[in-house]
Amino acid sequence: MSFQHILASLPYEPPFLFVDGLSRLDDDGAEGYFTFQPKMDFYKGHFKNNPVTPGVLLTECCAQIGLVCLGLHLLGKENVAIAKVGIGFSSSEMEFLKPVFPGEKVRVTSKKIYFRFRKLKCEVKMYDANGDLVCKGILAGMLTNNKDE
């Protein structure tokens, strides 16, 4: 399955799409990137005169690249129609080490811990353009093959 097919199958769209592209996707993990554009609406109020990307959006970026893209790849290998996949975020444990400012491009890597009974758990890491670790953690979610489940 191609990177473009995975990206087109993501259940997000702007302004809540935090994946610009993928550079690696295999059975063991994923790697992708996103640029937090300076004109993104949330920067207007977080924080006054000193905009910083909220940690919840850093977590979401890690989840979209490291968990959802990987999960769609794994389900596609099971011949599941990924256009009908439902996604539920079940847990996160993140540690934030550096801020991400408007205009910064980040790279997210994930390593599969396990994928059993359609539950995916991954170790994720986010790096800035200098290769410095921004945040890291463990994310888990459930993937279903029917949005009504």
In 5-116 the beta strands, taken as DSSP E runs, fall at 21-26, 29-35, 86-96, 105-116
Which amino acid is located at 64 in the chain? Answer: Q
- CATH number for the domain spanning 110: value is 3.10.129.10
| Mean pLDDT within 22-35 | 98
- pLDDT-based confidence at 149, cuts 50/70/90? very low
- pLDDT-based confidence at 148, cuts 50/70/90? very low
What domain range is 17 assigned to? 3-144
Residue 94 lies in a domain: yes
Considering 46, 105, 119, 125, which one is annotated as catalytic?
46
Which amino acid is located at 58 in the chain? Answer: L
Q: Please return the burial class of 49, using the count of CB atoms within 10 Å of its CB with bins 0-12, 13-18 and 19+.
A: exposed
Residue 12 lies in a domain: yes
Residue 96 lies in a domain: yes
List the structure tokens of 113. Answer: 């811990």
Is-catalytic flag, 5?
A: no
Residue 50 lies in a domain: yes
| Mean pLDDT within 115-141 | 97
Supply the pLDDT for residue 24. 97
Helix or strand run (H / E) with residue 4: helix 3-9
Q: Which of the 8 DSSP states describes residue 87?
A: E
User: How high is the mean pLDDT of the chain?
Assistant: 92
Residue 109 lies in a domain: yes
Model pLDDT for residues 54-95, shown as the tens digit of each residue: 999 999 999 999 999 999 999 887 777 766 778 889 999 999
Supply the pLDDT for residue 65. 98
| Mean pLDDT within 126-138 | 98
Residue 149 lies in a domain: no
Q: What percentage of the chain reaches a pLDDT higher than 90? A: 78
Which residues, in sequence order, are bridge partners of residue 112? 122
Q: How many domains does the chain have?
A: 1
Instruction: Give every CB contact of residue 33 below 8 A, 6+ residues apart in sequence.
Output: 20, 21, 23, 65, 105, 106, 107, 108
Please check the confidence at residue 140 and state whether its pLDDT lies above 50: yes
